[in-house]
Amino acid sequence: MPAKKKPNAKPLSGAALIKEVCRRIRLARSRWDDHNNAACRAERTKALALYETLSDAEREKVPQVLRVWLRYRSEKYFGDHRTPPGGGKR
């Protein structure tokens, strides 16, 4: 049985938050490369939620490659115009 996770006492901020956003985007990219769309979608959602909490100055500290990937995947593959997952079961 895996160990239980301890809840964070304080939310991330500053450099730790930027590092976590970058880690989540990289993890989503690796899930995308593995063709694991459900896991990619989950990680991308978490990364996007954290990214939205960053200020403009902090967003500039996220590498441009990661920002572009997050925006491109968000709009093209996971946007509102796409069919949500789990709808096509037969």
pLDDT digits (tens, 9 = 90+) for 2-34: 667 666 657 777 888 999 999 999 999 999 888
Is 24:54 a contact under the CB 8 Å cutoff? Answer: no
Domain boundaries, the chain: 15-76
Is 41:19 a contact under the CB 8 Å cutoff? Answer: no
List the structure tokens of 64.
């441009």
Tell me: the pLDDT tens digits for 31-68? 988 888 888 888 988 999 999 999 999 999 999 999 98
The kind and range of the H/E element at 66 are helix 64-76
- Neighbouring residues of 62: CB distance < 8 A, sequence distance ≥ 6: 18, 21, 22, 25, 51, 54
